A and B are shown apart, each in its own frame.
Chain A
Amino acid sequence: MAEDNVVSIITNFENINPDTVFASFVIIIFAIFLSKIVTFLLTKISEMSWKYRLYLKTIIPLSKVLIYALAAYYILASVFVLSFDQLILLSGLIGAAIGFGLRNLFEDIAAGVVIVMEKTYQVGDRVQMGDYYGEVKDIGLRATRLVTPDDSLVSAPNNLVFTQSVASGNSGSSEMMATLDIYIENDADVDLAMKILREAVVTSRFVYISPTRPVVVLLNDYPFYKGLKARAYVNDLRDEFVFRSDVTRRTWNEFYKRGIKPPKAYIVNHGNTAG
């Protein structure tokens, strides 16, 4: 039975003529165009609705996978006229062949499918992948494109999700947590400083506060200075850096007015020690 199928496949492939190649080429071009149009439309619609932007963008990679899968199926089933059994057999053969030859490429594609299905991260998320941090612009079948805060477009292979941990700052939500550290002199009025920092955060035009998204201000005591850490959610993750800058600027303006000064000592990078 399987032998017949193999023979039939070989016969079908032997019968490939310019028309078949042309038809396949047209289908591939059509799939690429359709994928581009769907991506463009979904991106446009999602940008119109800030609230549901990320949910809509989730559909983009799914629709791409679907379009390309349908195109491949259509080429094999209609153009090459393969039966279902033959398709299964062919995909097995292709799988085995590429398993040896194009392992990395297909590892990336498999990872791309895993990312789409498992929603490891989504288009619009702020993620840390390997050495890169930025907003996910596109999840392709082979690579994920990130836009870094410096506006560089980074193409990171999807298989990084198998080999490295990937951190998503917002995990599908429009808002994301932003933290900022401010260091003050050891003998500064700490209560006043914490009050000012909190007010700077809650009055920012970029802040988002809800019962599950509270504003937290923490204090850490270091040998030669004190560290304040504010944790709050920015209403749109794209404003993460503007939010930090806005809060820092207004906090320091008020600190100077109220006699709170920065420490004279050299500040060591404490990482996440404030909590």
Chain B
Amino acid sequence: MVSLDAQDSVKKLVFGMDEQIAAIQKAISDFEAGQRVNIAILALPYAGKSELVDEIVKMHPHDVTKVTFSSIIDNKDQIPLLGDSNKIMIFDNCHYLYMRKIGGFEVIEEFLNMVLSSDERLYITTWNIHSWNYLHRVLGIGKYFPVQVNIPSLNSADMKEFLLSAYDEGEIQFVNDTDVKEEKIFQVIKRPIAKKITHGKINLYSLHINRVALKTLLFNRTPSETAESIIFKEITKISRGNPGVAKEIWNKWLEYPVIRTSSTNTLQSDIELDSTGRFVLYMILSMGYIKKGELKNILNLSCNIDDMMINRLLFELLSQDLILEYDEYYSIRPEKLYAAVKYLENIRLVW
């Protein structure tokens, strides 16, 4: 059904997703053989779920109709009518079909009803994993999509291949500028204070921790390890194998055409938010991208907070570098994605 050439091209474009593509292909083959099992593709923001379904579209260009939701659908009438003759329907970003507020499930219930009632079509859907987990516990949506495909994390080798695919061989120079052998892990730093006022020698002593050297000691990094290996290991670790997040970190660290190991010494800051701020962070995480107006619509009803309060909360999230604002859309800052997930898991807003 799918040519080898087509499969090869997919392998080159979608890194580390061979098993997921095979699972989707099997579901499509089963559907053609008469057995329908709808598919849900689940992933965190930036993980590449849309890229995965794009490859499926490329593999079945004449059999598939793809619908992408790019903002919250708050009216049943906005669900596209399925007049198309194609039997395979792909709905990208289905987490935009609900809102976490009273009356916010009508659209998704209508959509699920449509999925259930049309036996002659195969539905391939993509979801933000946190919205999916929520909806699965609230509405039991797992029953509608028996095949659930989780997008896996890339390993260090795949990550290297993915990140370097945009460059020629040898174009990027990896520099090891942290000679960890000679550096002390702990250093007492002396800082003179109030010299102008006291005219005396009053010093403040503080303990400085060299994180790179500490990491080296803890993770037994060998001195002979190449700069390239160190950088890709760090990027994979910080991004937890999420290609979108890794790309953002790569772009941040890259001083074209040089990337240095000292860039891996990034500071982690604690997240401090009140209960409403946490909920706003959760809403942004579970939607991936959300407009200010949509956020206001949900929060006005679910938290009874006014516009001024929402602006304050968004300002707080922006000032803590947790979210990005782009063209009225808010999203979690890629490099802070896993810190935010961990924080929300810890306080059990993410299940």
Contacts and interface: CB of A to CB of B under 8 A. Distances in A.
A202 B103 CA distance: 11
Contacts of A49: 346
Given A210-B137, A235-B348, A203 B304 contact: no
A50 B303 contact: no
B301 interface: yes
B101 interface: yes
Contact of A203 (B100, B275, B276, B346): B100
Given A203-B302, A209-B137, A249-B304, A50 B104 contact: no
Contacts of A205: 275-276, 278-279, 282, 302-303, 349
Most B CB within 10 A of own CB, among A50, A174, A211, A242: A50
Contacts, number: 56
Interface string B327-351: 0000000000000000001111101
A260 interface: no
A4 B104 CA distance: 83
A235 B349 contact: yes
Interface string B269-289: 000000110110010000000
A119 interface: no
A267 B104 CA distance: 32
Contacts of B31: none
A250 interface: yes
Interface in A162-215: 174-175, 196, 199-200, 202-206, 208-211, 215
A203 B302 CA distance: 7
Contact of B302 (A51, A236, A242, A250): A250
A221 interface: no
Contacts of A251: 102
A85 interface: no
Contacts of B279: 205
Given A208-B351, A209-B351, A210-B351, A51 B346 contact: yes
Contacts of A236: 347-348
Nearest to A214: B137
Interface residues of A, number: 26
- Which bracket fits the contact residues of B? 20 to 34
A250 B138 contact: no
A140 B259 CA distance: 57
Contacts of A242: 275
A233 to B, nearest CB: 10
A262 B278 CA distance: 33
B105 interface: yes
Nearest to B278: A205
Interface string A74-112: 000000000000000000000000000000000000000
Contact of A199 (B105, B137, B282, B304): B105
Interface string A137-181: 000000000000000000000000000000000000011000000
Interface string B85-101: 00000000000000011
B101 A203 contact: yes
Contacts of B105: 199
A208 B303 contact: no
B341 to A, nearest CB: 13
Contacts of B102: 196, 199-200, 203, 250-251, 254
Given A208-B351, A250-B302, A202 B346 contact: no
Interface string B52-80: 00000000000000000000000000000
A245 to B, nearest CB: 10
Interface in B136-168: 137-138
Nearest to B276: A205
A242 B274 CA distance: 14
Interface in A33-81: 49-51
A235 B134 CA distance: 14
A199 B101 CA distance: 7
A206 B303 CA distance: 11
Interface of B: 100-105, 137-138, 275-276, 278-279, 282, 301-304, 345-349, 351
19 contacts: A49-B346, A50-B347, A175-B348, A196-B102, A199-B105, A203-B101, A205-B276, A205-B349, A206-B275, A208-B348, A208-B351, A209-B138, A211-B137, A215-B138, A235-B348, A235-B349, A250-B301, A250-B304, A254-B102
Top 6 nearest A-B pairs (CB, nearest first) are: A205-B279, A235-B348, A209-B137, A199-B102, A202-B138, A203-B100
